[in-house]
Structure 1
Amino acid sequence: MKDTAWGFVFFIVLLTVASCNKKDEHSLGEFHIDIATVIPMGENGYMLMLDNGKQLWPAATDVHYLPVGNYQRVFVNYTTLSDEQGGYDHYVKVNDIWNILTKKVIEQTSQNADSIGHDPVKINEAWVGNDYLNIDFMFNYGGVRPHAINLVIDSLHPDKAPDTLELEFRHNAYGSSSPKFFEGFICFDLKPLQRADTDSVQLTVKAKDEDGEKIFNVVYRYNQAALQNKIAETPIPVVASNEYY
């Protein structure tokens, strides 16, 4: 399964690079793959907000997709059909769309400390886009039961640095001892972490992998589009929602 998964990732990367080299942006043979936030519109409609701030209207689609709740994060494969039109940056045709596990940051307490878990988990990369923390990670899924993945604020040990919000990326493997590592992707809503006295906050994200604790420092600038398109640099991982929650 691991070889198949990485083969799929390599295939997606090749297709993404190929699409970037094409000259006719609105050709039906041209496509892009991006991370987006689904914003429900009306009863069953939706628009897509890319992490660079661009808004896409799905004027056509090859897949049946219904928004699940508010502000679901997705990987979207799309073809642009127009330039700016109707208040949107592009009308697009949605070729495919995959939900990304999207969660809120939780508070660690004495009651939930054990269920959050302390099992190893490796962060490949972490960055902020459109008020969400995106984390590409590896975990040793063993097939026993879905694993728990969370981002927590430790209320039992207050932050030592007043200008920095310390977070922990936590993993509960529920007893799985499998040596096989699988790649996952998850997004955490950062909007509840905003403070009224500033327009940004420094985040310190800690994760414990097999080699010890690793720290990622990220600046969260409120309501600001990502400065660059990270998906162009990071391969889309194999996302299997039944492997973690």
Structure 2
Amino acid sequence: MKINSVFSKALAVATVVATSIGFQSCLDDDDNNAYYLRYPNALVTVKEAADGAFFLQLDDKTTLLPTNVKTSPFGDKEVRALMNYSEVDEASGEYTKAVHINWIDSILTKPIAPDLGEENDKIYGTDPVEIVNDWVTLAEDGYLTLRFRTVWGGSQKHFVNLLLGQNPDNPYEVEFRHNAYGDTYGKTDDGLVAFKLDELPDTEGKTVKLKLKWKSFSGDKSAEFDYCTRKSVAPSEPAAAAVRSNLKLK
């Protein structure tokens, strides 16, 4: 299913301006490079290496070694993050590429929420969203990352979660839930969230269809993603933690 959307430049600009952690760019400070630096050019998983350093998982096969940052800005937490980087001509060791991080910013990263049965609607909500068909909306490296659009009044933190589906014929069915806590009047804006999919059955190396369901402003919708259980290198005890996001989310 194709989901219609228009890319919101405001989201990317806000990410860089408001939450960049200020890495010095290796690029010349001219207009073209300033424009280049304004937007993310990668969505990565920030992972801890065995030696205590950290690396970045770009996709299911590509790993990046930062050359200008030695310790993760997110501590020992494994998170998904937007990043602007440049490749550099330096040794990458066991990793695919060596890179210079121009800036990096974590997005809200969460595990699948527990099924509360009859309490699901009350706790996780049934407020509508639109899932945006964008380059950051995808399943990779054991995560489902979603860009979603809804109404924000600014008076409450919105609660977003992913639940396992209740379809006995499809174990790879999940449901996006949104609780606005009554904060449903205001402007339309976008949020980003990533959900760790380690509670899904192992696909045993195969690529399957992951079905996502959600309640939109025009009724129930669904979309499918190509999904394969994570095969890349991971910390011995990965921790998916809820971290800072651009908008009021939890």
Q: Same fold (TM over 0.5)?
A: yes
SS of 2:192's equivalent in the other structure is strand
For 1:115, what is the secondary structure of its paired residue?
helix
User: Which whole-Å CA distance do the structure 1 matches of 2:204 and 2:66 have between them?
Assistant: 37
- Per the alignment, residue 135 of structure 1 pairs with 146
> Shift of residue 190 of structure 1?
1.1
Q: Say whether the 8 Å CA contact 2:54–2:71 is kept in structure 1.
A: no
Which residue is 2:214 aligned to? 207
For residues 192 and 47 of structure 1, the distance between their equivalents in structure 2, rounded to whole angstroms, comes to 24
1:117 corresponds to which of 121, 125, 131: 125
Q: Residue 172 of structure 2: which of 165, 168, 171 is its match?
A: 165
TM-score (norm 2): 0.72
| Structure 2 residue 56 is the aligned partner of structure 1 residue 48 | yes
Take 1:183 and 1:122, find their aligned partners in 2: how far apart are those partners? 9
> How far off is 1:100 after superposition?
1.1
1:47-196 to 2 correspondence within 5 Å? 47-61=55-69, 65-82=72-89, 85-109=92-116, 110-125=118-133, 126-154=137-165, 158-160=166-168, 162-195=169-202
More off after superposition, 164-173 vs 135-144: 164-173
The root-mean-square deviation of aligned C-alpha atoms, in Å, is 3.1
Larger strand share, 1 or 2: 1
Supply the distance in 2 between the matched residues of 1:205 and 1:177 (Cα, whole angstroms).
23
* Residues 9, 145 of structure 1: alpha-carbon distance in 2 compared, 3 angstrom cutoff: closer
For structure 1, the 5+ residue unaligned runs are 13-26, 226-238
Give the deviation of 1:240 after TM superposition: 3.9
Q: Give deviations 1:163-211, integer Å, cap 9, x for gaps.
A: 4532211110001131411111111111221337774443221111211
Q: Given the superposition, is the C-alpha separation of residues 6 and 198 from structure 1 closer, same or farther in structure 2, using an over 3 Å criterion?
A: closer
Unmatched 5+ stretches in structure 2: 1-6, 15-25, 233-243
Whether contact under 8 Å (2:209, 2:226) holds in the other structure is yes
Percent identical residues: 26
Q: What TM-score, normalized by structure 1, do the two folds share?
A: 0.73
